[in-house]
Amino acid sequence: MSTMEGYNFAYLDEATKRMIRRAILKAVAIPGHQIPFGAREMPLPYGWGTGGIQVTASILGPQDTLKVIDQGSDDTTNAISIRRFFRRVAGVATTEHTAEASIIQTRHRIPERPLREDQIIVYQVPQPEPLFRLEPRRAETKRLHALADYGLMHVRLYEDIARLGHIAKAYDYPVMVNGRYLMSPSPIPAFDNPKMDRMPALQLFGAGREKRIYAIPPYTEVRSLDFEDHPFRPIRAPHACALCRSTDTYLDEVITDDAGGRIFVCSDTDFCAERQAAAAPKEAAE
Amino acid sequence: MSAPLLAAEGLTLRFGAIPALLDVAIDIAEGEVVAIVGESGSGKTTLLRVLSGMIAPDAGTVRWLGQDVHAMGEAARRRLMRTEWGFVHQNPRDGLRLAVSAGGNVGERLMAVGARHYGKIRAEALSWLARVEIDAARIDDLPRTFSGGMQQRLQIARTLVTRPRLVFMDEPTGGLDVSVQARLLDLIRSLSRELGLAVLIVTHDIAAARLLADRILVMRRGRVVEQGLTDRVLDDPQHPYTQLLVSSVLAA
Amino acid sequence: MMPALRTEGLAKAFTLHLQGGTHIPVLEGVDLAVHPGECVALWGPSGAGKSTLMRCLYGNYGAGAGRILLRHRGADLDLVTADPRLVIEARRETIGYVSQFLRVIPRVATRDIVAEPMIARGVPKDDALASATALLNRLNLPERLHGLPPATFSGGEQQRVNLARGFAPGYPVLLLDEPTASLDAANRAIVISLINEAKAQGAAIVGIFHDAEVREAVADRLFDVLPIQDAA
């Protein structure tokens, strides 16, 4: 597909990209720290990934191969729209295979296949402030970050255990980055948190409405908050994938009929498909 | 006599043309309870805020163990405020998190200084609720379901849980019924003795000052007009204003 | 032997600012010395300033002139000029005061009120509570009352609590302001023996005793406190 006429490469003008790249560089230099940036109006509503798209647009080059996933899937409306958007405004190659992508923009998941040093993952972030629900004053949350005063976040986890017997946060589970900044990992399942720790790929986070960018450089320590006697546990549905039989991936529950029938399948469609393809010749041979 | 924990001198602060503090000096030693009394507007609450580093004076210094409180960075001051210092507000709503359970309120300071064992935090919260006479069964209740006196006792537990050396108290019995006040005063008194706390308490309640304080400072229009041993100041007041203040107290 | 407590040229006057600055001199040129093992009874008509002198000796009233020298930690401490923190230390360790009235601390049990000054002096809590109980029993305060706050006790019961609190720690210097005013004969006799035991242990005692029987039983000498005639 050819690039659309009348737009700069990857939609954003070069000055805007430079501004965003400066924010990204600063974010990489201070892992987990939220950097404000001048988010532009995008041809997409807030909540559809405008922050992630701007980050992607700013780092994208003509040689890149882009993969976009939404809840682990390459073929949801949101993922397809964004992929098509970049194909039209940048003319870059796109893929559905994690292994082939140089940039992966994601909403709500980290691919199951481990990422490599030559890859970058861009997260779409609705609310970058992990203390948002605990401390409504923005100036005060900034001060708490500046002073690394994070007792409040543990109070929240304490409250969960006191009321429910366990930490109830199943997604957007707060992490400490490089032992310094408390960070929202975006609404990925807590199951994915361990993948962030010392990940070889660069991790970038963009929040369009909130106008914040933050980052985790490769091989940075990322720790999920917990208590010694209530350690962090990545949670997944206790089933095997109905399609690929995987027992160590994150599963979606799919309702199959009106009679209460349901199955569990891998949320990462690409990973699931690869496993099925690898298993198929064996089954065919039997 | 040991060196004072907190020592201030020459404190002056004006709000516009109005002097809130004029050349005030005060110090407090380990384990000592010092009351600052005076009528509304005398500058006593302002003094407490200056001493605790919340507002900077126009002139004068406040030293904590020799270190200038207003020269240290905010990070150091906040660390002090959640470790070696405590602040009990007149209105418990200013000192509590109303959307967090009683146990969470008590545990917050522990977690802020690095406690990461839920069971130990909870056990400590329970023991503090007992010390301030709050039923253990209320540990998971929100403070907004508590009476005013209970909220104030919870605030005290929340403040003392990290064993501060100095606690600032601003009219801690202010909005409470008389019967509840007596219980709270007695609690503050016994806890301060037991823990060897230094307490700097602002009050306009002369009877409370007599019950709690080793020493007393009488403030009027931003100045300390008289100070000394509590019973000497109250039983043998020298300054006209102190005589007025003492003679104005209704004998129960 | 050094006196345990002495005054030199002690003077005390009150200025009542609320009554137009009226100046009332009460004490002038008081020179009193009390030695260990000695009991001195203040003597004089009522209104002469005996209670004022007692309160000065305890540091409760400030002095207008002169010195009040208390033997404390082996040296003289001038209560007139001493830092309040030193006065508090002297009250904890050296000098006790039994007033006529008990200043009630709300909600604190009688036994704890009596034990408190001993605990403050470093006596282990259990020992302090045990001696508090023993002394209250000796003063015939029924044991069922020991666990209650004394706020609702009768005048005589409160006075016995006060006496127990004053005598239990064994202060080297003890001030007694009419310690037997509300007591019956049997309890007066017990107080007399308490005072004599304290003397025998070397306590220096200053007292106001209106009761002649008690005074004669305990006082080694009288000290005249006379009204100032030329009150200006």
CA distance B168 to chain A (A): 21
H/E/C letters for each residue in A180-241? CEEECCCCCEHHHHHHHCCCCCEEEEEECCCCEEEEECCCCCEEECCECCECCCCCCCCCCC
Task: Identify the CATH number of the domain in which residue C136 sits.
Answer: 3.40.50.300
Distances (CA, A) of A54 to A68, A72, A126, A217: 14, 20, 14, 19
Q: Is the pLDDT of residue C126 over 80?
A: yes
Question: Which of C60, C83, C86 has its CB closest to that of B231?
Answer: C60
DSSP B250: P
In a domain, C108, yes or no: yes
DSSP A2: P
Q: How confident is the model at residue C107 (pLDDT cuts 50, 70, 90)?
A: confident
Tell whether the torsion through CA atoms of A54, A59, A61 and A66 is positive or negative: negative
Query: Residue C55: in which H helix or E strand, if any?
Result: helix C50-57
- How far is B116 from B120, CA to CA, in rounded Å? 8
Q: How confident is the model at residue C128 (pLDDT cuts 50, 70, 90)?
A: very high
pLDDT computed for residue A18 by the predictor: 97
Instruction: Check CB contact under 8 Å for A161 and B100.
Output: no
Helix, strand or coil, per DSSP, at residue B47: helix
Q: Is the pLDDT of residue C231 over 80?
A: no
Distances (CA, A) of B41 to B11, B143, B155: 17, 30, 25
In a domain, C17, yes or no: no
pLDDT computed for residue C223 by the predictor: 95
Q: How confident is the model at residue A153 (pLDDT cuts 50, 70, 90)?
A: very high
CA distance A249 to chain B (A): 29
pTM of the full predicted structure? 0.87
In a domain, C132, yes or no: yes
User: Domains, chain A, ranges and CATH?
Assistant: 14-224 (3.40.50.11310), 236-286 (no CATH)
Touch between chain C and chain B: 3 or more Cβ pairs under 8 Å: yes
In a domain, C73, yes or no: no
Least confident of B119-133, B141-155, B182-196: B182-196
A147 touches chain B (CB under 8 A): yes
B235 touches chain C (CB under 8 A): yes
Instruction: Check CB contact under 8 Å for C61 and B236.
Output: yes
In a domain, C28, yes or no: no
Q: Is the pLDDT of residue A1 over 60?
A: no
In this structure, are residues B134 and B154 in contact, taking their beta carbons and an 8 Å threshold?
Answer: yes
Q: How confident is the model at residue B127 (pLDDT cuts 50, 70, 90)?
A: very high
CA distance C189 to chain B (A): 32
DSSP result, C187-200? HHHHHHHHHHHHHH
pLDDT in tens, C131-171: 999 999 999 999 999 999 998 899 899 999 999 999 999 99
| pLDDT, averaged across chain A | 93
Instruction: Check CB contact under 8 Å for C55 and B182.
Output: no
In a domain, C43, yes or no: yes
pLDDT in tens, A171-198: 999 999 999 999 999 999 999 999 999 9
Q: How much of chain B, in percent, has pLDDT values that exceed 70?
A: 98
Residue A276 CB burial class (10 angstroms; 0-12, 13-18, ≥19): middle
pLDDT in tens, B88-124: 999 999 999 999 999 999 999 999 988 999 999 999 9
Region A81-91: mean pLDDT is 94
Structure ipTM: 0.91
Placement of tokens 């009390």 in the chain? C34
pLDDT computed for residue B169 by the predictor: 95
In a domain, C71, yes or no: no
pLDDT in tens, B231-251: 999 999 999 999 998 888 765
- How far is C30 from B244, CA to CA, in rounded Å? 30
Q: How confident is the model at residue A46 (pLDDT cuts 50, 70, 90)?
A: confident
- How far is A158 from B118, CA to CA, in rounded Å? 7
Q: Is the pLDDT of residue C43 over 70?
A: yes
Total structural domains within chain C: 1
Residue ranges making up the domain that contains C194: 36-60+84-224
Question: Which of B103, B107, B117 has its CB closest to that of A229?
Answer: B117
Instruction: Check CB contact under 8 Å for A159 and B104.
Output: yes
Chain A residues with beta carbon closer than 8 angstroms to that of B117: 227-229
User: Domains, chain B, ranges and CATH?
Assistant: 6-251 (3.40.50.300)
In this structure, are residues C186 and C140 in contact, taking their beta carbons and an 8 Å threshold?
Answer: yes
- How far is A156 from C66, CA to CA, in rounded Å? 64
Region C188-211: mean pLDDT is 95
Candidates B228, B153, B219, B155; CA nearest to B186 is: B153
Region B154-173: mean pLDDT is 94
Question: Which of B29, B189, B247 has its CB closest to that of C85?
Answer: B29
Pick the residue of B32, B184, B189, B232 with the most C CBs within 10 A to test the interface with C by mutation.
B232
CA distance B110 to chain A (A): 8
In a domain, C25, yes or no: no
